[in-house]
Every structure is written in structure tokens, then in C-alpha cells.
């Protein structure tokens, strides 16, 4: 039994922290490196579970060291790993992440490995019936994502799509999504509207609603976030936390938001909780490992 089903990838994040991000053709000397859990789905699953939600994480791993690391880490965080497929034909993926320690900003290349071979036949969508919320991103093959969104909708789940990394989506997607949660770059990809401020975000959200999406949350990094359902609009500033590493902040937000929604909170409170989870995650190095437990963000549920 799980409250939330998360479909997504696990990769081993190999993060390099230094005084700046390297430019094209440049070699820089970094200060430290870390190997930890990453992949948007994995990070979101950890965020939910640490807050107290029961998570079923659906993914695919290689039968290798990083695959073992994944299972250990996920189990330690009380995540149901029984629906993770282990492939002996593919490797577990990795991400190479450069972090500028002064701003916390990053540049990421992900090699997905095993989950890039995931097929619809490998997923038992009957399991979705046990959950109330289905949360996914765009790191899994697109046809699998669409198939699962359809199944989740048929079973009456709330569908949350974090469209990251952005890629072309058919109209079928938009109709199936209850909450669409792009960051400002991803929102620009779908609407063509460059977002520099809250007003631009409102224009972008309006376009997304016109495309058939029910509810939109555009995360704006240090500028905060904008929610719209076509009638109600909420703008919220980001927390004042000093960012050390912003990797996984969007995942923290999605995890925190899904958890708050599960707990039946009103939209404004869901956004406040998600905002705090995201803010906290930026104060720690790493992605999956930077997710808070309730007392870190003074959360009582
Ligand atoms: O959102 C951050 C995540 O994106 C990283 O953990 C990296 O693995 C990529 O999937």
C-alpha cells in the first residue's frame, strides 16, 4: 500500500563543487566531489518519504554497484522498491554535475542507463490503484510516461507532471495532467514566453491553461513561484535560504507539494510547504541526500 506512486529514474549523481562552472574548453581545479542518489524521480520519492508519505517508486536499474547503491539508499529512506526492475542487460545511469559553490547553480548531463529501455509491458499499472497521487517527470521514455498517466487517470489518481527535462508533448499529455510543474525555462519551452518576472510567469501560465492543463505551478528559482488554475493566481516569494547547491530543488518542490496535497492541505499551504522543502534542499550539497525531514522545516502534519 502506498500513498503516492512515483515513476522516474535513479542515477548516481557525481557532483563536482568548485569556484565556478567550467567554460567550454576550460579545465578548473574543483574543491570537492560527492557521489549520491539522483535522478528526478528518485529525488522526488525521497522528498515525499522523508516527510512521511508512503512511496512506491517505479524504475529500472542495472545489476551493478550503482544499482545496489540505489536499492540501499531507497530502502533506508523507507521507499517501496519492490516494483523496481533490475536489468542484466543495461547499466544503472549516472549524472555528471558541476556546482558553482558561490551561487549554488549547476550544469548537469544525465546518462539514464537502464530506465531508457523501460517499456509499457514492464509496468503493472494495477498497482496504481493503491495510490492517490501519481507523480512523474520526463526522464522515462515518453510513451511509457503517457501510458502510465492514462492508467493513473483511469484509476482516479491525481496526476502531477514535472515536465523536466522539457521535450515535445502531444495534447494527450496536457489533458491527463492535473498539476503541471515546469520551471521558468521549461515553461518557456512550452509557451515561447521568456520569463523574467512574475508578470511574465502569469502570461506563460495562462497559455498553458489554454493548452488544456488544469493547474499550473511555474517555479522561478530565487524569484519564487506562480500558481494558476485559470481563475485563482498565487505568487509566492522564494525562501531566504542561502543556496549552497540548487541541484534537486525542483524535485524537492514536487515532492513537498505532492505530500502536502496528499495530506489534504489547501493549495496555498501546499505551495508554502513545497517552497520550504525546496529552500531547505538548496542549503545542502547533493540532490536526493538534501531532502528534509519534517522538523528541518518546522512541519507538523
Ligand atoms: O533535478 C536534479 C536531477 O536531475 C539530478 O539529481 C540529476 O540526476 C538529474 O536527473
The whole-number pLDDT of residue 301 equals 79
Domains and CATH numbers, the chain: 4-292 (3.40.1190.20)
Q: What are phi and psi of 250, to 5 degrees?
A: -65, -35
Alpha carbons 155 and 164: distance in angstroms, whole number: 24
38: Cβ below 6 Å to ligand 1? yes
The whole-number pLDDT of residue 211 equals 92
Ligand 1 centroid–CA 145 distance in Å is 17
The whole-number pLDDT of residue 36 equals 96
3-state secondary structure of 45: helix
Q: Which three cell numbers stand for residue 22?
A: 567550467
Q: Which three cell numbers stand for residue 289?
A: 541526500
Work out which ligand 1 atom sits closest to the CA atom of 97. Answer: 7
176: Cβ below 6 Å to ligand 1? no
Q: What residues act catalytically?
A: 251
**pTM assigned to the model:** 0.97
Spatial neighbors of 72 by CB under 8 A, at least 6 apart, are none
Mutation test residue for ligand 1: of 6, 7, 9, 11, the one with most atoms within 8 Å of CB: 11
- For residues 49-80, b (16+ Cβ closer than 10 Å) or e, as one string? bbbebbbbbbbbbbebebbebbeebbeebebb
**CA distances from residue 186 to 3, 189, 235, 244, 278 in whole angstroms, order as listed:** 28, 5, 18, 23, 17
pLDDT in tens, the chain (301 residues): 789 999 999 999 999 999 999 999 999 999 999 999 999 999 999 999 999 999 999 999 999 999 999 999 999 999 999 999 999 999 999 999 999 999 999 999 999 999 999 999 999 999 999 999 999 999 999 999 999 999 999 999 999 999 999 999 999 899 999 999 999 999 999 999 999 999 999 999 999 999 999 999 999 998 999 999 999 999 999 998 888 999 999 999 999 999 999 999 999 999 999 999 999 999 999 999 999 999 999 998 7
Amino acid at each position: 500500500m502506498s500513498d503516492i506512486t512515483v515513476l522516474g529514474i535513479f542515477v548516481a549523481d557525481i557532483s563536482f563543487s568548485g569556484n565556478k562552472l567550467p567554460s567550454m574548453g576550460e579545465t578548473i581545479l574543483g574543491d570537492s566531489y560527492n557521489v549520491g542518489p539522483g535522478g528526478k524521480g528518485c529525488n522526488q520519492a525521497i522528498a515525499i518519504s522523508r516527510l512521511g508519505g508512503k512511496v512506491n517508486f517505479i524504475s529500472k536499474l542495472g545489476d551493478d554497484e550503482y544499482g545496489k547503491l540505489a536499492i540501499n539508499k531507497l530502502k533506508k529512506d523507507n521507499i517501496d522498491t519492490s516494483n523496481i526492475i533490475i536489468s542484466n542487460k543495461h547499466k544503472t545511469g549516472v549524472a555528471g554535475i558541476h556546482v558553482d559553490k558561490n551561487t549554488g547553480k549547476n550544469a548537469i548531463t544525465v546518462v539514464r542507463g537502464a530506465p531508457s529501455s523501460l517499456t509499457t509491458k514492464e509496468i503493472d499499472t494495477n498497482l496504481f490503484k493503491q495510490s492517490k497521487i501519481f507523480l512523474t517527470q520526463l526522464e522515462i521514455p515518453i510513451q511509457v510516461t503517457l501510458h502510465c498517466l492514462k492508467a493513473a487517470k483511469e484509476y482516479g489518481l491525481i496526476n502531477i507532471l514535472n515536465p523536466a527535462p522539457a521535450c515535445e508533448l502531444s495534447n494527450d499529455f496536457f489533458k491527463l495532467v492535473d498539476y503541471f510543474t515546469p520551471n521558468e525555462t521549461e515553461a518557456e519551452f512550452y509557451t515561447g514566453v521568456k520569463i523574467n518576472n512574475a508578470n511574465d510567469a502569469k502570461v506563460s501560465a495562462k497559455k498553458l491553461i489554454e493548452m488544456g492543463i488544469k493547474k499550473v505551478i511555474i517555479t522561478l528559482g530565487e524569484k519564487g513561484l506562480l500558481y494558476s488554475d485559470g481563475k485563482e493566481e498565487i505568487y509566492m516569494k522564494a525562501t531566504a535560504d542561502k543556496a549552497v547547491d540548487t541541484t534537486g530543488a525542483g524535485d524537492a518542490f514536487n515532492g513537498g507539494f505532492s505530500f502536502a496535497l496528499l495530506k489534504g492541505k489547501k493549495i496555498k499551504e501546499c505551495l508554502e510547504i513545497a517552497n520550504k522543502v525546496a529552500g531547505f534542499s538548496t542549503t545542502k550539497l547533493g540532490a536526493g541526500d538534501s531532502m528534509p525531514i519534517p522538523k528541518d522545516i518546522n512541519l507538523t502534519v
